[in-house]
Amino acid sequence: MSKQDSVIVAGGGIGGLAAALALVRRGFSVEVLEQAAEIGEIGAGIQLGPNAFHAFDALGVGEAARRRSVFTDEMVMHDALDESLVARVPTGEAFRQRFGNPYAVIHRADVHLSLLEGAQATGRVRFLTSTRVEKVEQDADGVTVYDQHGKAHRGVALIAADGVRSVVRQQLVGDPPRVSGHVVYRAVVDRKDFPEDLQWNAASIWVGPNYHLVHYPLRGGEQYNVVVTFHSRNAEEWGVTEGSREEVVSYYTDTCPRARRLIDLPKSWKRWATADREPIGQWSFGRITLLGDAAHPCCNIWRKARAWRWRMR
């Protein structure tokens, strides 16, 4: 395989851009196919362990990611009913020295921007927007991807980072996304509107029965990420919509007043009805590899934390 051959990446999100940068550093040129009209990222905050910064450094965007991150001093878990402290994990200077990098929080858009800038700077990543993958074929020499207009895109390999509703996975595996019943509300709140007694430099979670609340600082502490998650009492369909404060309130009637204040802060919410998939035994099929949510979508981490806490009661 010639190092000058092009690899196709389906999906211009965080996973797709990281894959593109990694491929460029191995000598390949890359064509990114993105179904949206613009390359961008939606959502709010994300937490990054030290290994994430090792990966950013390997991709050449470590300093940009650090500049846009908030390095936390600790991770804390509280009981959402009685406000008691469940666990505290220091992530300050001693943590950073031990692991060589920080535990940090950052806006998803800032992660994406750091990767996008890095990809654009290489001059070897071509972006095609408003391009939706419809079908893929492969042979001994490469992969052909057909978009919604019937146009063929040819490459030596395909990285399918096209999300939980991956067209590529559907063709190769044939399993449908599984709506989880978990609903996530996300918002970003300016510091001036955030309670001073909760302005901790920490990744914070309040855990209750079938729900949790998360908050932490973003963008130099000028904003705070607020996330509330619960298991819906209704049948759900995967998707993102505008949220309803009244719905959130109805799930948090037993929450302690201090944590409950988080619900009143956002001026608007985005509502994610989440989905995942059953695990599969392989992610690579000849010259095609699944990546990110196309390979291993999972929304069960919060559920494990909640189950652990309530077994302790």
Give the closest residue to 42 by CA, choosing from 169, 216, 188, 161: 188
For residue 152, the number of C-alpha atoms closer than 13 Å in the C-beta half-sphere is 7
Strand partners, 178: 276
Is 216 labeled as catalytic in the residue annotation?
Answer: yes
Cα distance between residue 91 and residue 104, in whole Å: 9
The widest CA-to-CA distance across the chain, in whole angstroms, is 63
Beta bridge partners of 137: 144
Matching residue, tokens 């990110």: 292
CA distance 33 to 167: 13
Assign 3-class secondary structure to 34-92. Answer: CCCCCCCCCCCEEEECHHHHHHHHHHCCHHHHHHCCEECCEEEEEECCCCCEEEEEECC
Q: Enter the tokens of residue 99.
A: 């692991």
CA–CA separation, 217 and 71 (whole Å): 9
Q: Which of 296, 294, 291, 297 is nearest to 275 (CA)?
A: 297
DSSP label at 295? T
Backbone angles phi, psi at 125, to 5 degrees: -120, 120
Residue among 216, 224, 251, 252 flagged as catalytic: 216
- Alpha carbon distances (Å) from 293 to 79, 159, 166, 173, 283: 30, 12, 8, 14, 11
* Catalytic residue IDs: 216
